Amino acid sequence: MTTNRRMTPARCTIVPPYLLERLAALSDESLAHAAESARRSLLVDAPFREVRAGEQPPMAPRTALPPTAGESGGAGTVSAVTGVVRRTIWSAGNRETLPGDIVRREADAPTADPAVTEAFDGLGDTHALLWQVFDRASIDGHDLPLDASVHYGRDYDNAFWDGTRMVFGDGDGQIFTRFTASLSVIGHELAHGVTQYTANLDYVGQSGALNESISDVFGALVEQYTLRQSVEEASWLIGLGLFTDQVEGSALRSMSHPGTAYDDDILGTDPQPAHMRDYIETDDDNGGVHLNSGIPNRAFYLAAQALGGNAWEAAGQIWFDTLTGGGLAHDVEFAAFAEATARAAITRYGDDSAEHRAVVEGWAGVGLG
C-alpha cells in the first residue's frame, strides 16, 4: 500500500534551502566564492530535499532501540543505563565521504583543531542537558554513543543530523563561518535525533515545522544550560556566531522575535512568521518547515518568559514531556501539539498552576489559544 507519510529524513540541515538558493543566485563578483559554495551545498542536499508526496525520503540506517533494564534481549538481559557520555569525532578531510578518520575519542587529549574541540564539547554539553536535566541517557535514552564528523565537503555551507551522526561543514568564509562555532546548532541537530527516537514527527508541513521548532527549543536550552543563562539573559538566537562580519544579522533564527534574525542586502530579510495570521502556505522547504517553525518557537519563548528563571526547568520540562510521552501523532499539527503541551503541564504541575497558564497563554500569543 502506498503511503503519503514522510518520516524524519536522514538529513536534517540547519540552514534552510531558501537561504542557500538566494546565495547561489548571486552575481556579484566579490561574492563569487560564496555563490559557488552555496550551489555545491544545494547539490549535496538535493536528494534529501526533493521528496514528493507518496515517496519515502532517503533514510539513514537506524539502530533498533535496545530493551530497557530488566527486559530480555536477543543476547540476554540489558544492564541499566549509566548516563556516561561516549563521544567520537571524525574528520571528513573536506570530502563528502562519511565518517572520515577518527581524530578524537572520549579519553583523548584535546587537539589544536577548533572544529574538533567545538564538536566534542558541544556533544558533551547536549548530553549534559539531556541527562542532568531530563534524566535521559543520550539521545535514544539508552546511552547511545555520540558521533560527529567535521570538515565535511569543500566549504560546505551547512550542518546536519543524518540519522546516526552530526556532520559539520566549514562554511564558505564569506557568509558562513565553521558550523561547529554555534552551540545552539549542535544542540538543534542532536535534538532531531531525540525526535527520531521518540515522536518521529513527519518532516513536512506543520509536523515538520514542529520537528524544526523542537530542535530550536532544545538547541537554545543546551546553550542556556551550558552558560547558565536565565530567560532574561539568553539571546534566544539559533545559529549565533555562524555569520561573518559581512552579514547584517545575528543568527539564522530568533525564537523571541521570529522574522528579525537578519536584514541583509545579501541574504534579504528573515522571512519567519511569528503568528498564525502570517502562516506561510508553500510547497518549498517541505511545506515551509524552517519558516513556520517561528510560530511554535515564539509560543515556547512566551511561556518561558512568563515563568521566568531558567527555561530548561518548567517550560523545557513540559516540551520534553510532550515530545517523549508517546501521545503525539506522527503528523501532529500546531493546534494538537499546543493541546498536548497544556496536558503535559497539567500532568506535571496541576490544572491551576502558573506553568499551565503560561503554556496556554504562550500559544494564545501566537493565535493558537
Question: pLDDT digit string (tens) for 305-357?
Answer: 999 999 999 999 999 999 999 999 999 999 999 999 999 999 999 999 999 99
Of 127, 142, 151, 189, the active-site residue reads 189
Q: What global pTM score does this model have?
A: 0.90
Q: Taking 90 as the threshold, does the pLDDT of residue 132 lie above it?
A: yes
Is 106 among the catalytic positions? no
Residue 59 pLDDT grade (very low, low, confident, very high; cuts 50, 70, 90): very low
* Mean pLDDT value of segment 39-45: 91
Assess whether 290 carries a catalytic annotation: yes
Q: Quick one: pLDDT band at residue 46, thresholds 50, 70, 90?
A: confident
Identified catalytic residue from 142, 188, 290, 356: 290
Q: Tens digit of pLDDT for each residue in 256-298?
A: 999 999 999 999 999 999 999 999 999 999 999 999 999 999 9
pLDDT tens by residue, 211-254: 999 999 999 999 999 999 999 999 999 999 999 999 999 999 99
Share of the chain above pLDDT 90, in %: 85
Assign 7 a pLDDT band (cuts: 50, 70, 90).
very low
Look at 65 and 207; give whichever has higher pLDDT. 207
Asked whether the predicted pLDDT for residue 9 surpasses 60, the reply is: no
Domain chopping of the chain, boundaries: 12-49+81-364
Measured CA to CA, the distance from residue 136 to residue 347 in angstroms comes to 19
Just give the CATH number of 12-49+81-364.
1.10.390.10
Q: What is the pLDDT of residue 283?
A: 93
Predicted pLDDT at 10? 55
| Integer Cα distance of 351 and 357 in angstroms | 8
Asked if pLDDT for residue 56 goes beyond 70, the answer is no
Q: What is the pLDDT of residue 316?
A: 98
Whether 57 shows a pLDDT value over 50: the answer reads no
